Amino acid sequence: MPNLEKNKLEDALEHLKRLPRATPPPELLARIEAGLTMPAAKVIPLGEWRKIVAAALVILSLNATAMAYYLSSQATDTPRTEYAETKLISDYQLYY
Amino acid sequence: MAELSDRELLANMATGDAAALRELYARLADRVYNTAISHVQVAAEAEEITQDVFTKVWRNAAGFNGDSQVSTWVYRITVNTALTALKKRQRRTFFGALTQANDPPDFQHPNALLEEAEQHRALFAAIYQLPDRQKTAFILSFVEELPRQEVAEVMSTSLKSVESLLMRAKQGLRVALRTEHPYRGKTKQQ
């Protein structure tokens, strides 16, 4: 069995030796020459991307902190405001 | 007029000589395309890689330091570009269809004879499954038939390392070819 496997590979390699190289389509050179006149695409290095992502994360976390602070203060403020309003109304009723 | 060497063509390309590019393309395009198509096994992607390679050669001609042959340098660019294309494809297929991430494309070498077509299809499918470095070493050695020393230079490694990669590649191919056609050459049990 191992010999059969070995022969199969050796056989495939023998066929490979007779396989001519694949050739690109004739119009490819024209496409390459046309592409050379275009400016090279600017590649942003990975390090730059990391800095951009880090900056975005800082901004997001600051916003999240501010949002959390705002929401928690809203939660504590609301009853106090309601209390003040009730007091004002009841005071008003006293003088009515 | 005497024929210019590859290095002279490259030097002319560095000065913007498009005729030098055409001449170098005529000499190396088949090698670049064949290496690319053997790696990615999709004709359209191999064309894109060939285009990328000659664009990089044109733009970096002035930076060629001459410590290797021009063809070795071009092979190195080709292999790196092809492996990058394969990585991109693997990322795409990973997000697109998790189960098909490593399946080889249904590739038939354009110059395979009809009677050998099935054998080549099986071999290239097996080559596709090899790890990147084994795949490159095998393609450069057996498809492109480069001398082992040049393969080592293209891959920026030692001759010993190339031989080791080829040995492991052959082991992998034997296993893959066995599983590809389990009933070839014997009667299937009923």
Do B115 and B154 lie in a common domain? yes
User: Has residue B190 been placed in a domain?
Assistant: no
Site of tokens 């990669």: B165
Q: What is the pLDDT of residues B26-44, one digit of tens each?
A: 999 999 999 999 999 999 9
Residue A39 contacts B, CB cutoff 8 Å: no
Do B65 and B116 lie in a common domain? no
Find, in chain A, the residue whose alpha carbon is nearest to that of B45: A24
pLDDT value at residue B190: 34
Q: Domain of A77?
A: 44-96
User: Has residue B92 been placed in a domain?
Assistant: yes
Nearest to B177 among A9, A15, A40 (CB): A9
User: Has residue B189 been placed in a domain?
Assistant: no
Nearest to B55 among A16, A24, A32 (CB): A32
Residue A30 contacts B, CB cutoff 8 Å: no
Q: What is the pLDDT of residues A19-43, one digit of tens each?
A: 889 999 999 999 999 988 877 667 7
Contact between chains at B120 and A17 (C-beta distance less than 8 A): no
Which ranges of chain B does DSSP label H, i.e. alpha helix? Answer: 6-14, 18-40, 43-59, 70-96, 117-129, 132-138, 148-154, 159-180
Nearest to B112 among A19, A23, A40 (CB): A19
Do B69 and B108 lie in a common domain? no
Site of tokens 């309003």: A85
- If one counts the domains in chain B, the total is 2
* Interatomic CA distance for residues B119 and B158, integer angstroms: 32
Q: What is the pLDDT of residues B145-155, one digit of tens each?
A: 999 999 999 99
Residue B108 contacts A, CB cutoff 8 Å: no
Find, in chain A, the residue whose alpha carbon is nearest to that of B112: A19
* Complex confidence, ipTM: 0.80
Which pLDDT band, with edges at 50, 70 and 90, does A96 fall under? low
Structural contact between residues A22 and B34, judged by C-beta atoms closer than 8 angstroms: yes
* In chain B, % of residues over pLDDT 70: 88
Which of B98, B123, B155 is where one domain is finished? B98
